[in-house]
Amino acid sequence: MIEPVLSSAVAGAVASGRPVVALESTIFSNLGLPSPANAEALDRCIAAVESAGAVAAITAVLDGHARVGLEPHEHPRILGAARKAAERDLAVAVAQGWEFGATTVSASVALAAAAGIAVFATGGIGGVHRGAEMTGDVSADLDALAHHHVVTVCAGAKAFLDLGRTLEYLETVGVPVLGWQHDDFPAFYTRSSGLRAPHRVEAAGEVAAVYANLTRPASGVLVGVPIPAGDELDAAELDRVLVRALEDAEEEGVVGAAVTPFVLGRIATATDGQSVPANLALAENNARVAGQIAAAIAG
């Protein structure tokens, strides 16, 4: 089993039962956001976690070691990263001594669980892709949520996915899906996907209670936090952009993990860069809520 290396701050917090929030590194790399927005996202998310009294634990692979918590002088290594590591890649990354691997949602959830961290924050999770009945393309994020005892805080799943089937998948594998102070499941850049969240919660203490009472001790919880109202993109325009981007991806033979950066790049171009500040706002908001939940779980 993988044994992540914890930073001194994270190790101390875990040992003393203080709240910790794990953060993925893909969103802070140039695979997630362009420079200098990725550096701004990193600073804002760390500050948001700390504002709730929690410790931020960035996950990554560095020099062949799975890391949970990085030192400030190591942050520049994240910003220029160009190689992803999902959960399936972690064992290979360690065995082969990868210089750097930007951890995805699935890898970050796995590392958080291995480190004894109860809460993880990200932008948006992966899910069931459109046309999955033909391609079988289902993100490993969903399997990670089902098999690691971690609360994942996100702005829903990315809008170009099949969100209805994503929710059905999560129901099948027994992962509670909670809408944070909102009735609908969010769709990343927009506050509502048009689908109802299975359950609504109003406060961090409710999430902590759900986490404490799971019937499957190895399973996690998903909290969907809508993007702040003033930062969401126009839903109708976004839908038009998504349809065209997915058509282009199919024509160009873009499949699997390459679909997400391809579509997000097209969205950024089509919205004249408006998607970047929206992404910053939702990531920061998720980190703040995650900090509150971590504090409630720590008691």
Compute CA distances 34 → 27, 253, 273, whole Å. Answer: 10, 24, 10
Catalytic residue of the set 84, 87, 158, 232: 158
Instruction: Find the DSSP H helices in the chain.
Output: 8-16, 37-51, 75-79, 87-95, 105-115, 132-135, 140-147, 163-172, 204-212, 235-251, 259-270, 275-298
- Tokens 């999955």 -> residue: 132
Distance, CA of 106 to CA of 142 (rounded, Å) = 8
143/132 Cα distance (integer angstroms): 15
CA-to-CA distance for 176 and 213, rounded, in angstroms? 11
**In whole angstroms, what separates CA 210 from the centre of its chain?**
20
Backbone conformation region of residue 261, classed left if phi is above 0, alpha if psi is from -120 to 50, else beta: alpha
Q: How far apart are the first and last CA of the chain?
A: 29
24 a catalytic residue: yes
133 exposure class (CB count in 10 Å sphere: 0-12, 13-18, 19+): exposed
Q: Are strands 55-62 and 65-68 parallel, antiparallel or unpaired?
A: antiparallel
CB 232 within 8 A of CB 59: no
Of 24, 87, 232, 284, the active-site residue reads 24
Kindly state the DSSP code that residue 3 receives in the 8-state scheme.
-
Count the Cβ atoms, other than its own, within 10 Å of residue 148: 21
Residues recognised as catalytic: 24, 158
